[in-house]
Amino acid sequence: MTTETPLIVGAGPTGLAAALFLRERGILARIIDSADKPTTQSKALGVNPRTLDLLESTGVTDRMLEIGRMARGMNLWRPDRKLATIGLGDADHRFPFMLVLSQMESERLLTEALTERGITIERGIGLTDIATADGGITATLSNGETLTPSVVLGADGAHSTVRKSLGRDFPGSAYPEPWYLYDARLQTTLDDEFINAFLLDDGVLLFIRIKDNLWRIVSNVVDPPHSIATGHNDRFSTMGL
């Protein structure tokens, strides 16, 4: 089969937003994802002001603002005292905060906006190979289809088949130590309108409230649950860690 329709590979935030922006400009793209279902994980949960700007005309920003939580800045702590508060309130922007919204919800809202515009994500279909020759593109899909799309947008994440098929490098570096990430239910008196960063002797413990009593904890200390449970201070006690 031959098609001139642009092909978006991957229906994460990048692919979904790209499909939406193209649709707003009158271009109907085909969007595929190898996963049968959308993610159920919170993953990237910080929506930045510029993203809210960009999505505003699509109506998605309003919906994000309805269900997301505003993080108005960051408190920096040592175990026994607060060192500083960095507020975003004075930032010269209409949205002077970071919106906390789980990636699952962001993807759901973007998907709804696409559905309203007549675009359906084709799930369970992966790109298996892509090749370029004579100025054209040939894309092979897991369902046996071969396409010749006008453009392919590789939004297929960190292990991108698009990138690998085209022999593109992905240079970068990694921290030597492991970083831990938990979504956990906490009872705490921490200020939940701010991200709270505890600067400990052996690393950092970050607390971001997602919703209700669910918090994202990110840390590079050796044993974060132990650090929290033993309490570098009495500001938090854990539930469900």
What are the residues binding ligand FAD (CB under 6 A)? 9-15, 32-35, 41, 43-46, 103, 126-127, 155-157, 161, 181
The least CB distance from residue 137 to ligand FAD, in Å, is: 15
Q: Which is nearer to ligand FAD, 155 or 228 (CB)?
A: 155
Q: Which is nearer to ligand FAD, 34 or 75 (CB)?
A: 34
Instruction: Identify which of 27, 23, 89 has the alpha carbon closest to the alpha carbon of residue 55.
Output: 23
Q: How far apart are the first and last CA of the chain?
A: 52
Q: Which is nearer to ligand FAD, 6 or 13 (CB)?
A: 13
The least CB distance from residue 41 to ligand FAD, in Å, is: 6
The least CB distance from residue 232 to ligand FAD, in Å, is: 22
Q: Across the beta sheet with 69-71, what order do the strands follow?
A: 46-47, 98-100, 69-71
Q: Which is nearer to ligand FAD, 6 or 10 (CB)?
A: 10
The least CB distance from residue 49 to ligand FAD, in Å, is: 15
Instruction: Identify which of 209, 241, 197 has the alpha carbon closest to the alpha carbon of residue 223.
Output: 241
The least CB distance from residue 106 to ligand FAD, in Å, is: 9
Q: Which is nearer to ligand FAD, 40 or 189 (CB)?
A: 40
